[in-house]
């Protein structure tokens, strides 16, 4: 299922934190929950959290249903987080285009 079709239809995006999926979530203007496993995924989880467009990342070794549910609730109930996610995408697009 293409991210470009799926992500605009959801309230938030939960994923592993790869660069492409992270970009697709921002492109859709959705707040994000990242559950990183390896590679660059922890970096993107931290970056999304620092930009306040997503919850604090939940590493695989501490990922449990309660923590995930809490993070999802946090991002879908924070209207500013969604607005920031849409704004960050606009900023990144303007930067790339310039």
Residue 38 in contact with residue 61, Cβ under 8 Å? no
What's residue 98's pLDDT? 42
What's residue 96's pLDDT? 47
pTM of the full structure: 0.86
Residues of the domain holding 48: 3-97
What's residue 86's pLDDT? 80
Local mean pLDDT, 10-residue blocks, the chain (98 residues): 93 95 91 96 95 95 97 95 77 49
**Tokens matching residue 69:** 């549910």
Number of domains into which the chain is organized: 1
Q: What is the CATH number of the domain that holds 28?
A: 3.40.50.2000
Residue 26 in contact with residue 53, Cβ under 8 Å? yes
User: Could you report how far apart the first and last alpha carbons of the chain are, in Å?
Assistant: 31
């Amino acid at each position: 299922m293409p991210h470009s079709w799926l992500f605009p239809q959801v309230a938030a995006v939960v994923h592993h934190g790869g660069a492409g999926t992270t970009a697709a979530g921002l492109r859709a203007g959705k707040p994000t929950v990242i559950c990183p496993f390896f590679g660059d995924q922890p970096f993107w989880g931290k970056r999304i959290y620092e930009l306040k467009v997503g919850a604090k990342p939940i590493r695989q070794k501490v990922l449990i249903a309660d923590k995930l549910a809490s993070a999802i609730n946090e991002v879908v109930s924070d209207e500013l987080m969604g607005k920031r996610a849409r704004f960050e995408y606009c900023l990144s697009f303007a930067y790339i285009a310039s």
